[in-house]
Each structure stands twice: as C-alpha cells, then as structure tokens.
Amino acid sequence: SEQLFMEMADRMAAEGWRDAGYEFICIDDCWMAPTRDKQGRLQADPKRFPGGIRKLADYVHSKGLKLGIYSDVGNKTCAGFPGSYDHYDLDAQTFASWGVDLLKFDGCNSDSLELLAEGYRRMSLALNKTGRSIVYSCEWPFYLRPVQQPNYTEIKQYCNHWRNFYDVYDSWSSIKSILDWTALHQDSIVKIAGPGGWNDPDMAMIGNFGLSWDQSVTQMAMWAIMAAPLFMSNDLRHISPEAKCLLQNKEVIAINQDPLGKQGYQLVKDKNFQVWERPLSGQAYAVAVLNQQEIGGPQKFTLSLTFLGNGLACNPACSVRQVLPASRDWGFYSWISSLSVEVNPTGTVLLKV
C-alpha cells in the first residue's frame, strides 16, 4: 500500500540508508487495479494507493529518493494484472508522467520469444522517448535461456540490468544456487557487465529470517564481487542492528559500486572452498574466500598471492585488508608469499588487495 512505501521512504531517509547509497524504493507486481482506465492507461489499485502513483512519487522524491515500478512485457503480469503488451508507448508515457525513476519489466505471459524480444526492445525505446531518465530492469535473458543462448550485446544495448536466473528466496540453498549458476556461466556473462549494464542476481535477503549471520555476510560479499545492483528485500521497520550494519557497510558498498565496473569471477574451486576475485580501480582487487561446507567449525584455506590478478595483484608487493566479516588491516605481503584465511561454514572472508 502507499502507506507502507511512505513508511519505508521515511526509514530510508532517517536511518542512513539513503546516505549509504540506497536511493530507490521499488514497487513490485500487484500494485495495479485489475483493469485499465477508459483511456487505456494503467491505474493503481484505488484502495491500496488512494493518492495514485504520482502522489507517492512526489512523496518519495521529497525524501531525496527515487521510485521504481513494475510491469510486464506480456498481456498479463506474473500475478495476472494488466501487462504492457500492445501498450508500450502509452505505459512508458504514463510512468514518466507519474515521475517514476525505474521500471522492472517482467517476462510472463508473452506468446513467443520473438514477441518477448520485440517487447523488451520497444519498451526501452519508449522509455527513452519520454525524455525522463528511467532505469530499465529486464528479465529478458531469464525467459530466453531455456530455449536459446541470450545475445548479451543486444540485451545491454536496451537494458540497464537483467535477470539471468530464478527468483531469490530467503534461504541458503537459494543463495548457493545463484552463486553456482553464476560460476557455471561466468564465461558468457562476466565480460558484458560494466557501466550502463549489469547482471542482476536478484535481491539481498539480509535482514529477514532465512540466512544465518555467516550466510548474510556471504551474500553481501559475493553480491559486491558480482557487481550486482544492490536491492534489498526486507522490512526496514524490523531489521536487526547487525543486518543494518552489514547492508550499510561503506567498504563493501565501495567495492560493489567500484567505478571500473568490472564483474568478478570464480578463480579457484578446491573441495569446499571457492576463491573469487574482482578487478577494482586503482590496480586493486577484491578477493572473496567462500567456505561451502555446511557442518563443522571454521576451516583454514591457504592461498598463494601469485594467483591473484593474473599474477599482477601483488607484484612486487601488496597490502591486504579484510573487509568482512569485520574490517582490519593484515599488513604488507610480497608477491611470493601466501595468505592463510580462516572461514566459517557457509561464510566468506572478503579482502581488498
């Protein structure tokens, strides 16, 4: 309801979220009335959004924030509300006139892959034609993938970020499956990511109930390595101080938002351990050591620094700083030395080298 989104906007402005860089409040499916209005335009559910979306956008903007909304490329949304098929220009104009700043465009109920692709292209052009700056979030490759390999060059031409894999759930198995899928497909998806277009592994579940502390640290660290858009799916009225601290961690957010804009990748897989690295600006690297073991206690993993950055990260020497689970300096290392990292089960140690 509009009340809920206004409350979230208040929290984001008052409790440091906006200052940490979280600037969008996004409405997902089910915001609409079941039918379009007499002019064929989408309309908000009158009971839950009595002031309409324009009023909500104005309120969100007054807090120094931006508003995101949801629609679908097909004739119905995933939950069965009116979709944008055959109304791309009208819907784009409607969203722009309301002051919307982001559109999540889903891929349900499209009759063919040709119509799906055409719809994603047409909505992109329609949004640009409004003259308003609207971030365009697509699910194009996810709906293509069962049938054909997505053309990421084309997708990046039209979309600002795109989902490749299933919806995230508030569970460790969900986070793990997203990381496994990403590692498996990294050769085709990592190179396309960069300023203007990003792979979207879906939302941060931190601050809910399904993830342990170590698993929350793993999601935050790995989303930073993957250059993922950081969208939270949680209730800011009921979030623990620890989860808030993690989501607002400036060092991790700086890695996530690094201006070089290169996505990280899995470097080593050794039994239960994975090492991922991400090139950063200023010749630095973010390195994540993930322990996938789900039982027992913390385990040690030893890593030769010559491995990192094609041998360049520590040549001839480098400083190492731990960012997660807690921040501390590890000092200087020479190129030929090794790092020994102790990692909790399902946890991650995030380093900046």
Bridge partners of 163, per DSSP, are 200
Q: Are 72 and 108 in contact (CB under 8 A)?
A: yes
124 burial type by CB count under 10 A (0-12 exposed, 13-18 middle, 19+ buried): buried
H/E stretch holding 256 reads: helix 250-256
Q: Are 346 and 212 in contact (CB under 8 A)?
A: yes
Q: Which amino acid is at 82?
A: P
Q: Would you say how long the chain is, in residues?
A: 353
Helix, coil or strand: residue 152: helix
Catalytic residues: 106, 167
Helix, coil or strand: residue 164: coil
Q: Which residue has the tokens 């342990």?
A: 212
Q: Are 214 and 172 in contact (CB under 8 A)?
A: no
Cα 150 to chain center, whole Å? 19
And the tokens for 96? 């722009």
And the tokens for 225? 């390595």
Q: Where does 25-171 have alpha helices with state H?
A: 52-62, 88-98, 113-129, 140-144, 152-158
Alpha-carbon span 186 to 22, nearest angstrom: 27
Helix, coil or strand: residue 123: helix
Alpha-carbon span 322 to 249, nearest angstrom: 13
Helix, coil or strand: residue 295: coil
Alpha-carbon span 330 to 62, nearest angstrom: 43
